[in-house]
Amino acid sequence: MDDPGLDGAAHDRALAGLMRLNAWSRSHRLLWRGIAAHAREVNRAGRALRVVDVATGAGDAPIAMSAWARREGLRIEWVLCDRSGHALEIAAAAARAADVAATTLEADAVAAPLPCEGDVATCSLFLHHCDPADATRVLGHMAAAASRAVGVTDLDRTRGGLLLAWLGSRALSRSPIVHHDATASVRAAFTRSEIASLARDAGLHGVEVRAAWPARWTLWWRRA
């Protein structure tokens, strides 16, 4: 799916397949507790929490969390960032349809610092696309853009995770891109100890990395 020459229709089918996989695995919930806690703190100060979502893709994670925020009476504004203009068009349309307060921003978090700021910077299921040096840069750019915290979730490189990816991608999508990317992503993913080390290299000292189901980890860092 990272191929810039990918046909638009094939890209759409792959995005739809990934959205089903994410919904099945409940990946969107992995960062929600931390985001909600920050939203409560900031809302008490009389303003909305501003969240910068890096490599947002179709924006399905922020849109899902916006629905939960609405039910809990929390105010969150989103900045949806991605290097793919096509993905951002899909994300913007989905945000409008769900009445989500969101702006879109075309930005490559690997290549350069983010041209925006927020209270919290988040990233879901993207770092496995990066080599260690690029992942370190992304984490550093996220920390620089966040006044309060950084939250990341991604695949954990385990045998069980590889099996789940193979089975889930074929059960929930007919896209050959999804079939390929699901298992390739697990093979390319970082373990919990590896991502903790990269985060420290990026200056995120005191980072906390925890295992999460299914075959995921979550990383949280809070600015002192």
The DSSP bridge partners found for residue 208 are: 220
Nearest to 103 by CA among 52, 36, 32: 52
- Predicted TM-score (pTM) of the model is 0.85
Whether residue 202 lies inside any domain: the answer is yes
Q: Which residues of the chain have pLDDT under 50?
A: none
Whether residue 180 lies inside any domain: the answer is yes
pLDDT at 152: 98
- Of the CA atoms within 13 Å of residue 91, those in its CB half-sphere come to 29
Q: Give tens-digit pLDDT for 22-45.
A: 666 667 789 999 999 999 999 999
Whether residue 150 lies inside any domain: the answer is yes
pLDDT at 76: 98
pLDDT at 7: 60
SS3 45: coil
Beta carbons of 94 and 103 less than 8 angstroms apart: no
pLDDT at 168: 64
Check which CATH number belongs to the domain holding 193 and give it.
3.40.50.150
Beta carbons of 12 and 6 less than 8 angstroms apart: no
pLDDT at 154: 95
Please state the domain count of the chain.
Answer: 1
Whether residue 126 lies inside any domain: the answer is yes
pLDDT at 164: 66
- Which residue do the tokens 């906390």 mark? 208
pLDDT at 104: 97
**Residue numbers of the domain that contains 200:** 8-222
Q: Give tens-digit pLDDT for 57-85.
A: 889 899 999 999 999 999 999 999 999 99
What are the percentages of helix, strand and coil residues in the chain, rounded to 5? 50, 20, 30
Whether residue 111 lies inside any domain: the answer is yes
Whether residue 2 lies inside any domain: the answer is no
Whether residue 188 lies inside any domain: the answer is yes
Whether residue 103 lies inside any domain: the answer is yes
